[in-house]
Amino acid sequence: MSAAPTSSSSPRVLSLRGAKTLPLVKSSSLHFPLKCKFVAKAMSATGIASELAELTAVKPPSHPTYDLKAVIALALSEDAGDQGDVTCLATIPKEMDAEATFIAKENGVIAGISLAEIIFYQVDSSLQVEWSQKDGDLVSKGMQFGKVYGCARSIIVAERVVLNFMQRMSGIATLTKTMAEAAHPACILETRKTAPGLRLVDKWAVLIGGGKNHRLGLFDMVMIKDNHISVAGGVSNALKSVDEFLSKNNLSVPVEVETRTLEEVKEVLKYASENGTSLTRIMLDNMVVPLSNGGLDVSMLKDAVQLINGRFETEASGNVTLETVKKIGETGVTYISSGALTHSVKALDISLKIDTELALQVGRRTNRA
């Protein structure tokens, strides 16, 4: 492969390795103070955090069985099918190199930079990537924040998969940052309402945006919800069964119970006062009521928080939106959980372009740069 070009005002080129270079398009000067050359080993579920330590200050959640490399491989495979990229095969010589630039097309929080490194490496380990931003940084419309150099075919094959992950993660991170700032001093959490197969990726984006992770799955926390309570015959019965199960199996995991009324909160507190319990958090579900005038009644939630009086962590859920989260956060709850962070995400618009100047010209014409 030819050496990666440096950012300058000279024309960007595509080159056939070992052949005469061919002028392609002019490239505006762009300085990249943060240069990351990703070197990967095995992307196992248990080893992913350490592998990414040098790329991001926000490491992905640790999951015992999640195989990020396999998720990436599936995304690449569904794109390539059984023939590969027939357009690249038809139009781009095998030995041609290129330089492509990441451009933000709207304001937001960038996320997925570290994941993009992994994808590029998985497609072609000879690709080189440089970034001017890191995961969690703000980007603005029209900002050029990264470049990838190397085999043109490899860049284009990786392009859509990289962008699909980055755009989704950046959308989650952007919404999370806004919600987290409004919720303070409460902490914002996501839920298990993630895209199938993208649990770790979605939850990683929440961390990048400044939120905290709720349970990763069914295995790392006991969460007694309404259906468990109904089958068990009440809140106290469910709690007793959980305490007995954990004791019998010598398990130590956080325990949360969902409550929907002040009576259920009182029942939980009564049980806890009379029994040794592993309970750590009480969920206060749908205790905020939207009013017809557009306001929000949080009196029930406040009453529940006062009843609990710091004996357990508290988590508000239900009717959590950008418009309501600030008022909910002012009630004194420890956490606020929102499924919307991941199930209703709006992707952040990002592009990866070889002809940067033309892309910016079109973007300005359509008010997207």
Q: Which residues are catalytic?
A: 160, 193, 225, 258, 285
Tokens of 52: 């990414």
Distance CA 280, CA 300 (A): 21
**Neighbouring residues of 60: CB distance < 8 A, sequence distance ≥ 6:** 48, 49, 52, 68, 200, 201, 203, 204, 207
Distance CA 193, CA 345 (A): 11
Distance CA 32, CA 23 (A): 22
SS3 for 312? coil
Distance CA 295, CA 286 (A): 15
Distance CA 256, CA 222 (A): 6
Distance CA 323, CA 294 (A): 10
- Name the strand (E) or helix (H) holding 224: strand 222-224
Max CA separation in the chain (angstroms): 83
Distance CA 219, CA 63 (A): 10
SS3 for 45? coil
CB < 8 Å & 24+ apart, contacts of 327-331: 327/288, 327/296, 327/298, 328/183, 328/186, 328/288, 328/296, 328/298, 328/301, 329/182, 329/183, 329/184, 329/185, 329/186, 330/298, 331/298, 331/301, 331/302, 331/305
Cβ atoms of 258 and 223 closer than 8 Å? yes
Cβ atoms of 126 and 133 closer than 8 Å? no
